[in-house]
Copies of this chain bind each other. A is one copy, B any other.
Amino acid sequence: MSQKRILMVVLDGGGDRPVPEFGGKTPLEAAKTPNLDALASMGINGLLHPIGPGIRAGSDTAHLSLFGYDPYEVYTGRGPFEAAGAGVMGRKGDVAFRCNFATVNDEGEVTDRRAGRIREGTEMLASALDGMEYNGIKMTVKAGTEHRAILLLHGDNLSPAVSDVDPHEAGAHFLRCEPLDDSPEARRTAEAVNYFVEESWHILRNHEVNLRRDRDGKAPANILLPRGAGMFPDIEEFGRRYRLRAAAITGVTLITGIARLLGMNVIEVEGATGGIDSDFRAKLTAAVSAMDKNHFVFVNLKAPDIAGHDGDAGLKKEIFERIDTAFSVVVDSMKERDDIILAVTSDHSTPVSVMDHSGDPVPLIIAGDGVRPDDVAEFGERAAMTGGLGHLNGRDLMPELLNLSGRAEKFGA
């Protein structure tokens, strides 16, 4: 059996609910999408429950599920994925935190949770904190975008069961990190975090970046506030699990982090921002090119999710039309070569009426040589209801793709 290559394109937050201004159609149904419709026509279609029927999936848990992992088993919180996305790779047992550079007054009250949305100098601030040790625990600090940063605790006997230092509102004193269970690991971790936070205050308040911000009348980034502890999971690498070489193209730190933690080769694409202005064509062109050197290429297009969170149906429809135009690259390539099994789907619905993720299923196309086409001729939530794939759970997708690409192992004789 000749082996094919797999292209998985995830339209982030693509699913939706009926929109009155579109006569009850969803943004995807209302959008003109001739290329995606052509792919739906040539392929087999279905509705995919990212995690399970009705379950409201996060982007992280949903992507894990699409990659064939059980998020209930391997998901240990957002921290490690954000850390990996920012380039801080921990090992199994390390604990990662998302942090904000914030402003506190002399009493320790948080006056600005984002330190005036600081954009410059955070790398210097981070490197002033990087490399501390406490009680045998090594601490890595890395600046992220704007006021964001990552703290990684590396050592033995750590626990993610500790509370946030970030009070999540201005005006409150920053919090003590408390153990959330009775384990010595949680106590040990909380102690290290509290040590780190006090040290960060001590070091940052007199840092030259902040003295300059003081002079310029800007809020100083004089403390680092950790939250969302998560332990680095013990995840089998994607490539090893399925015996293939895998690459990822994504503009979102969290999703990049998932790809990195799964050992995928992350391809940087110019113009890929993870925003609504992202260069969809550049990403899909890069994906098609990457099909030569990889057996599996994953692309995440974040824009539909952003429009969904903004509650902007018109924008979401327009984004689908722009994505569809860019999809001509994929349609052309599917015509040219017969060694690609393509999946187009979403990681979850982000209905404009909800302005957040919902548990509604998302449409799925699988196209390529060997697929049994159905009668669906349109890419959309309702069209997919009658598709030949029926209803699938996220974790069923990889087995389907491995099967069609001639990469599935036989179970039994």
**A53 interface neighbour in B59, B356, B370, B396, Cβ under 8 Å:** B396
The DSSP consensus for interface residues of chain A is: loop
Q: Chain A, 50-67, contact with B by CB distance < 8 Å: what is the 0/1 string?
A: 011111111111100000
Is the beta-carbon distance between A410 and B372 smaller than 8 angstroms? no
* Interface bits A360-374 vs B (CB < 8 Å: 1, else 0): 100000000011111
The reply to whether A399 and B71 form a contact with Cβ atoms under 8 Å apart is no
Contact across chains for B75 and A412 when beta carbons are under 8 A apart: yes
Which residues of chain B are near A306, meaning CB under 8 Å?
Answer: none
Complex contacts, A18 vs chain B, CB 8 Å: 370-373
Q: Is A314 at the interface (CB under 8 A from chain B)?
A: no
CB pair A399–B55 under 8 Å, yes or no, is yes
Q: Which B residues are in CB contact (< 8 Å) with A401?
A: 54
Contact mask for chain A residues 380-401; partner B; CB cutoff 8 A; 1 contact, 0 none = 0110011111111000101111
Q: Could you tell me if A382 and B374 are in contact, using CB atoms closer than 8 angstroms?
A: yes
Instruction: Tell yes or no: A5 within 8 A of B by CB.
Output: no
Q: Are B372 and A360 in contact (CB under 8 A)?
A: yes
Query: Besides the contacts A58-B412, A354-B370, A359-B402, what 12 more A-B pairs have beta carbons closer than 8 Å?
Result: A1-B355, A1-B356, A53-B399, A53-B400, A54-B396, A54-B399, A58-B410, A58-B413, A60-B412, A359-B399, A374-B385, A390-B390
Instruction: Give 20 CB contacts A-B under 8 Å.
Output: A1-B356, A18-B370, A52-B399, A53-B399, A54-B401, A54-B402, A54-B408, A56-B403, A56-B410, A58-B410, A60-B413, A61-B411, A351-B370, A354-B406, A358-B403, A359-B399, A360-B372, A372-B382, A382-B388, A385-B390
